[in-house]
Amino acid sequence: MLPKLLVLVSGAMLAAAEILSLTELNWTLQNAEGLIKVPAQQPSQVHLDLKAAGVITEPLLGINDFTERWIVPDSWVYEADLSSVISQHAQGNNGSRTLLVFYGLDTVATITVAGHPVAWVNNQFQQYVYDITDFLASPLGNEKSINIAFESPFVYGQNVSARPDVESTIAIDFEWPGVRQYIRKISSDFGWDWGPAFAPSGVFKPAYLVTLSDSPATQSAENSPASHPLLVSQTGGIFIEESALEISKVGQNPNVRPDESADWLLNVTLAVRSMRADLNPTLSISIPELNVQSDPLKLSPIPAATNASTFVTASFTIPEGLPQRWYPHNLGTPKLYNITITLDVGGLPSVSYTTRSGFRTVYLAQTSYSQDDVAEHGLTPGDQWHFEVNGKAIYSKGSNLTPFDPFYPRTTSDKVRWILESVVKGGQNMLRVWGGGIYQPSDELTGGYDFYSACDELGILVWSELGFSDSTYPVNDFFLESVEREVRQNVRRIKRHPSNVQWAGGNEIEPAILLANNTLGSLLPSRYIDEFLLMFQDFLHDIVLQEQSSVAYTDCSTTNGVLSLEPYTLRLNNLTAGHIYGNAELYNYDSSQSFNYSTYPLSRFVNEFGFHSMPSFYSWEEVLQSADDFSFNSTVVMSRDHHPPALGLIWPNPLAPEGQKEMTVAVEQWLPTPGTSDKNQTFAQWCWSTQVFQSLYMQSEIAFYRRGSGRGERNLGALVWQLNDIWQGVSWSAIEHSGRWKVLQYGLANIFEPVIAYPFWVPETQNLEIAVTSDLWEAANGTVQLTWYDWHGGSLNTSSHAFSIGSLNSTVAYQVQGLSNILPAGYKVEEVWMLLSLNAEVDGQIYTHEQHFVPTSLAKSNLVDPMIKVEHGDDLTFTLSARGGVAPFTWLDHPAGTVGYFVDAVSGKPLNGFYLVPGSDRTVRFVQSAALSTIASPSPSDFVVHSLWNNTHI
């Protein structure tokens, strides 16, 4: 949906400098044979228009990801009438030029205007601008339309990969085989192990006709700056094709720690198309809040040209100490400033626009720890790998972001905002934008929805990746030329955002090529290593650092790091035993080892780790169409488990039973096995129990990595795979497709608290360690209270243990060995559990945290009917009481049609899936998203409470 700030005009007004959204045209869509022809919209994609016309049903329903595959191999044509626009040009208004502006085409398309071929494009990640004035002035024959003919992305990929001059590659096929690495399109569009493979096509981002005027008399004297660079074209003869702003320190180099005392450097780069030439154009920069105004800054000449853009650059310094710095939300205020850019081109009215940005330094430490560091702090030797913000090391707590929907045009800023606010509420300070998805947009006007600007505002750090994943790629000139333009455009656009903290070349490619090399040895042609290095060590590295200097480049999400930053040389297999290098990831689907700490990597930073789970019963209700489908191993449910992937187009996924088994075994091993006389309840409890296990496992890993901040590995980062869902199916997500929080999202909110206590239990040695970890920059002092209960809710004994902990560190608050010394006297492991309650003071602020220790599997614990009672209060508050025994993982479900989360009514912290103890009532409040909920005022009676007891009892 286009933002209201853009004034759309009719075709009759195009002769005066104006902007027309292609949304305003009347579009049709037809397939290559012309057998299907339907009304269409822009921006859109083929599946969405076919759905709107009733040709297909909602693609996410049932097994439509299979039955609607017929759409992908076909070619599709979008067409709209331009008669009113052409008539204006036929009147001979020589003082205007019209530009056709696409901010995203998905993907391979031929563009025709009034019968004239305009362009052939093949990169989803680029923006395209064409001067079509002459075409509109002289249509061929009676052609008065714009025609955008999309080739099948699958057929295109097949054709390209079959060329004799195209390199073979090493890649994983998820569904549509053998093509994704040959086409510059979202990789996961062809399938992934957490999503479908619709491979859509269409004008997926906003597009415009921009008419520039050379007649000052027809131009309005706009005094206030435009709210976006695109909108300056409403005032005259200038179009800003690209606008880039980078705020860094004077002399900053991403490979060296910034000089925090240096002045700030504001660098502005514009790509300009102008109706008039100027040998001496100027640019000025102002920040009203700081009372800062530059003098006119001289630019290189700008020609009178609308068929290509001219890049101009200017810089301006601001004294250190004048602006307030931007911080991630958990460490300070994400302060932003309105920055106004004014461009003066002789003979045209000056144009101004305002953008928002912040002042911060970011450094990715990748060099070796010194011998002094190793000796003084007891570190394991090797390289550093952590982020520093404004001169201080931070602990990166977060998750990995995947595309929000299989069909980009229907993603809204409201939905994205909800997901990002959930990140903040969940205690995360970093998101990794996964390289197999999309380059996330900066604003609605050009990107359809807002992402990076929202992260700036909310104080979320963003680890950005270029669009490459789990494959080697061609390195021929044709391919690299397209990639270069793609990367330059996106790096220039995103560098103004203080939230962006690094560029990685892609996802998991370095470990994949090293695995192939280590497995095949001399059988692997050396060219694969050479081509990997050419692309990810040299080519992409150089482009990124040519375009910006404020954040680092790394070759890959998971990497062994570098031998040298200047020149940039990857370490690869140049490893020393006993040293730690780069970062790490972990996926272990043997649930018998899930809580075995020796299976976790000792790493400086863990950027991916996860375990899959089912979506909730409520999400299944959105897509299942038969009562028989509501079963853990029904055909439709299993068809939505793409782990392990099918490796081709076989449907249903023949490998899904393995993924289903992994979840099943995990639940059976660690939780009461769901099974009741109510079929739907059993299915619902199975789905929920997979989420409970997932949360327990991820909490264990995160606690381990965070504890590593005070140990030899000096771990300073943990990013869970994954944050969000692209559809309703089996995945590693913490938040479901609708925005509903899974158990994991509440678990992350708990384990990402600033100061936490966690029980590290090693059953083989019967050793229990209560560790306290803090990611604050200030020292923390406090106590951990340990209270043993039986499952009836009786308090058996309690002890209190003081701790003192430094900045970004961990400590042991209590340690004991042997069950006879751990358990309350006379009790067995099946009969008891422990509550950990932390209370810490940091600079006068109180921090609290709660965790639990069960000395055996909950599947073996002697649970007691909790007899939970719920009382409804005002404003969707619920007070829960256990009238029987303890209810582990007491859970409230909000009804279908609502999106929101539960918070503790006193502390305001997210709270669900908690231990409810007799005599200790809990009151929670439901915080609802009005924008995403279809039911505005849900009835309290429609909220459902259950716990692990309901796995086996009605």
Contacts of 216 (CB under 8 A, 6+ apart): 236, 348, 349
Cβ neighbours, 10 Å, residue 517: 18
Q: What is the DSSP letter of 816?
A: E
What is the enclosing helix (H) or strand (E) of 464? strand 461-465
Q: Give one DSSP letter per residue of 185-211, joined into a string.
A: S-GGGG-BTTB------B--S-EEEEE
Helix (H) or strand (E) holding 527: helix 526-532
Residue 321's region, left for phi above 0, alpha for psi from -120 to 50, else beta, is left
- Provide CB contacts within 8 A for 271, sequence distance 6+: 240, 241, 242, 243, 309, 310, 311
Q: Rounded to whole angstroms, how far apart are CA atoms 58 and 642?
A: 20
**Rounded to whole angstroms, what are the CA distances from 909 to 426, 634, 644?**
9, 37, 36
Examine the residue annotation and report whether 508 is marked as an active-site residue of this protein. Answer: yes
Write the secondary structure of 92-140 as one string of H (helix), E (strand) and C (coil). Answer: CCCCEEEEEEECCCECCEEEEECCEEEEEECECCCCEEEECHHHHHCCC
C-alpha distances (whole Å) from 317 to each of 300, 334, 336 are 19, 21, 17
| 159: amino acid identity, one letter | N
**C-alpha R_g of the chain:** 29
User: Within a 10 A sphere around the Cβ of 797, how many other Cβ atoms?
Assistant: 11
Of these residues, 79, 508, 608, 713, which one is catalytic?
508
Q: 315 and 333 in contact (C-beta within 8 Å)? A: no
Cβ–Cβ under 8 Å, residues 768 and 761: yes
Residues 126, 185 contacting (CB under 8 angstroms): no
698 burial via Cβ count (<10 Å: 0-12, 13-18, 19+): buried
What residues are paired with 839 via a beta bridge? 783, 848
Task: Return the closest-CA partner of residue 456 out of 362, 602, 346, 335.
Answer: 335
User: To 10 degrees, the CA torsion angle through 873, 875, 876, 882?
Assistant: -30
Rounded-to-integer distance, Cα 284 and Cα 314, Å:
9
Angle between helices 656-670 and 679-707 (to 10 degrees): 80
Residue 789: alpha-carbon gap to chain centroid? 41
Burial of 622 (0-12, 13-18, 19+ CB in 10 A): middle
**Beta-carbon contacts of residue 755 (< 8 Å; ≥ 6 apart):** 772, 773, 774, 776, 780, 782, 805, 838, 840, 842, 847, 849
Query: What is the total residue count of the chain?
Result: 954
Q: 901 near 927, Cβ under 8 Å?
A: yes
Please give the Cα distance from 639 to 402 (Å, whole number): 20
Token duo for residue 845: 């602020």
- DSSP designation for 467: S
Q: What's the start-to-end Cα distance of the chain, in Å?
A: 45
Q: Confirm if 89 and 98 have CB atoms less than 8 A apart.
A: yes
Query: Pick from 509, 476, 469, 557: which is nearest to 190 by CA?
Result: 469
Nearest to 272 by CA among 357, 350, 358: 350
Active site residues per annotation? 508
